[in-house]
């Protein structure tokens, strides 16, 4: 059994890489006044860590992703799922399906790795939304796909109906 620590930070539309995110979190944790927030989650998994999966190119995020809430800078959150939704912009409106996509560079094997988490909100049933989300997320040509370069990045996805 392995324990997976996940630190999720929300950046209000700013794409931060690991070095920048570290500075933002240091400023935030030391009393800086900004709009960035974090949640520290821990999950237990049997076998390999979620990022060490054999099917890391379009596979499924673990069912219990991101795990149990350990700490956050936001008040009023006792459960991990509510905070997870808050960090990703709030609970999706009725009739929308959330497709969460985690992308990270190939070759990272821990114990610390950096990646990006997106939430795509799509109308339609969850199965259709998952297919559309995959099509939007993964680059196939210069004109198809937006977020992930499959030659350089691994990605895992989860879709939930709201």
How is residue 54 written in tokens?
Answer: 């054999």
pLDDT at site 114: 79
What is the per-residue pLDDT across 70-118, written as a single tens digit (0 to 9) for each?
888 888 887 788 888 888 888 888 889 889 998 888 877 666 677 888 8
Query: What is the distance between the alpha carbons of residues 69 and 12, in angstroms, rounded to a whole number?
Result: 21
Its domain, for residue 21, covers 2-161
What is the pLDDT averaged over residues 114-142? Answer: 86
The predicted pLDDT at position 15 comes to 47
Is the overall model pTM greater than 0.85, yes or no?
no
**Exposure pattern of 105-143 as b/e (b: 16+ CB <10 Å)?**
eeeeeeeeeebbbbbbbbeeebeebbebbbebbbeeeee
DSSP class of 8: E
pLDDT digits (tens, 9 = 90+) for 20-39: 555 655 555 555 555 678 88
Count structural domains, the chain: 1
Q: In sequence order, which residues have a C-beta less than 8 Å from that of residue 150 and are 6 or more positions away?
A: 57, 138, 139
């Amino acid at each position: 059994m392995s324990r997976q620590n996940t630190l999720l930070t929300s950046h209000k539309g700013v794409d931060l890489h690991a070095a920048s995110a570290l500075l933002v979190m240091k400023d935030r944790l030391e009393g800086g006044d900004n709009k960035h927030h974090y949640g520290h989650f821990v999950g237990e998994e049997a076998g390999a860590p979620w990022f060490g999966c054999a099917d890391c190119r379009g596979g499924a995020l673990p069912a219990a992703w991101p795990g149990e809430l350990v700490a956050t800078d936001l008040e009023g959150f006792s459960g991990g799922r509510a905070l997870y939704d808050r960090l990703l912009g709030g609970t999706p409106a009725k009739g929308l399906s959330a497709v969460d996509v985690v992308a990270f560079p190939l070759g990272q094997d821990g114990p610390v790795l950096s990646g990006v988490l997106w939430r795509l909100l799509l109308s339609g049933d969850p199965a259709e939304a998952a297919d559309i989300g995959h099509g939007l997320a993964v680059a196939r040509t210069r004109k198809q796909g937006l977020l992930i370069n499959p030659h350089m990045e691994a990605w895992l996805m989860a879709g939930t109906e709201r």
